[in-house]
Amino acid sequence: MTMSSWKSLALAGTVALLSPAAPAWAEPEEAPAAEVVADDSMLSESSLADAKARMRKEMDEAIALVERIFATDTLPPIDPAQLALAQQTTAALIPAGSLERMLDNLYGKVFKSIMAQVDGASDLMIGIKTGVDSDTIAALDAPSKQAIADLFDPHRKQREEQVTAVIKPVISEVLADLEPPMRAGLARAYARTFAADQLGQFNAFFATPAGQAYAREWMALQADPEVMLAMIKAVPPLADKVIDRAPQVEGQLKELPKERALADLSDAELRKLAKLLKVDVKTLKETRDSWNAPVETTEAAASDEWSYTDDAVDAAADAAAAAADDYDAGHDRSNWSEADRKAVEELEAATYEAEQSAAANARKRLGMTDPTS
């Protein structure tokens, strides 16, 4: 593993661990993170700096968003004595190495399973490299699969061990760096949630052997495979309940009064709104009245002036609707005589001309520009 690929892996791993969403630099069109790993020569110090700067900017924006949502800057101050008790509690609840233990519990088995699948001796990788069908590969014994894998990569085990030896210490260091801020944030939350005597009882319990055992394991147990499996198995019944209740919920929501728009507000309500917005009430009234104004349709505007072409267009439309509702073989023009077909085509041409004339007249009455001019 070269230095440049090591840096790209470290940066990608840090972002994946810390970021709540994939950063922009990780997307194909913006940053070459995935391509860099494949081609070490593409990675430079400047590109790493740019990637870190973009990640930092996005994380700062995310932090600011969370602070606005939860209004943490408006929370009242915490009594120092209360905070000290809570800090003692969280120090017991998150002893050094807690996050790493949790990660090992959650991802350790998953990681090993994934590594087993991409190992050169797995059925999957042998199939990819040889093109042989899966049934044939599945029938092979383990020594044969190992020998096949050794032909392609006799050093694969050493490579896996090297990756683990290089990456795991960094992950451990990153997780250890996360623990102090996690303890600090949890301490403030505990100090606001629990009374001083409750925190004292917690601390007394965590000072006992049983309390110490609980504090050491509680976080890792949140990621225990049995806990995760139980949660996953609980999802289908929950989904069924939500689906079954959907009609009932929808019906109850329909009973709620509809949201009001600006057009629904009275003059008095507009004055109140203008005061709240610190704007001119006249502007709001003009906007409201424009929304309430009736829409003048072409049909209403044309009613002042009638021409035979209007009836011609209506008659043509009625004839088309009747033909669509009562179509039979008699409407198939291949069954018509030449004289009948010619008469119909002449009428259609006259109808089209009448329709164009009616449209032109309507545009003139409405002061519209002729699009054909």
**Dihedral, 289, 291, 294, 295 alpha carbons, nearest 10:** 140
Q: How high is the pLDDT of residue 235?
A: 87
> What is the DSSP annotation of 244-313?
HHHHHHHHHHHTSPPPP-GGG--HHHHHHHHHHHTS-HHHHHHHHHHHHSPPPPHHHHHTTS--HHHHHH
pLDDT at 244: 87
54, 298, 310 from 319: Cα distances, Å: 66, 22, 14
pLDDT of residue 68: 87
Residue 316 pLDDT: 56
Tokens of 34: 């995935």
pLDDT at 195 (0 to 100): 96
Under 8 Å between Cβ of 288 and 270:
yes
- The tens digit of pLDDT for each residue in 118-132 reads 677 788 888 888 888
Tokens of 63: 């932090």
Sequence-ordered list of residues with C-beta below 8 angstroms from that of 92, at least 6 positions apart, any chain? 202, 203, 206, 207, 211, 212, 215
| Separation between Cα atoms, residue 31 and residue 4, nearest integer Å | 15
Q: Are 236 and 244 in contact (CB under 8 A)?
A: no
Q: Which pLDDT score, from 0 to 100, does residue 263 have?
A: 83
Entry pTM: 0.48
Q: Using only the alpha carbons of the chain, give its radius of gyration.
A: 37
Distance CA 126, CA 145 (A): 8
- Supply 167's token pair: 């990456």
Query: Which pLDDT score, from 0 to 100, does residue 186 have?
Result: 94
* Cα distance from N-terminal residue to C-terminal residue, the chain: 71
With beta carbons less than 8 A apart as the criterion, state whether 121 and 234 touch.
Answer: no
pLDDT, one tens digit per residue, over 84-108 is 999 999 999 998 888 888 877 766 6
* pLDDT one digit per residue (tens) for the chain, 373 residues: 444 444 444 444 444 444 433 333 333 344 444 433 444 444 577 788 888 888 889 989 988 888 888 888 888 899 999 999 999 999 999 988 888 888 777 666 656 666 666 677 788 888 888 888 888 888 989 888 888 888 888 887 787 778 777 777 888 888 889 899 999 999 999 999 999 999 999 999 999 999 999 998 998 888 787 888 888 898 888 888 888 888 887 777 777 677 888 888 888 888 888 888 888 888 888 888 887 776 655 454 444 444 444 555 555 556 555 555 454 556 667 777 888 777 777 777 777 777 777 777 777 777 666 665 5
Structure tokens given for 216: 């050491």
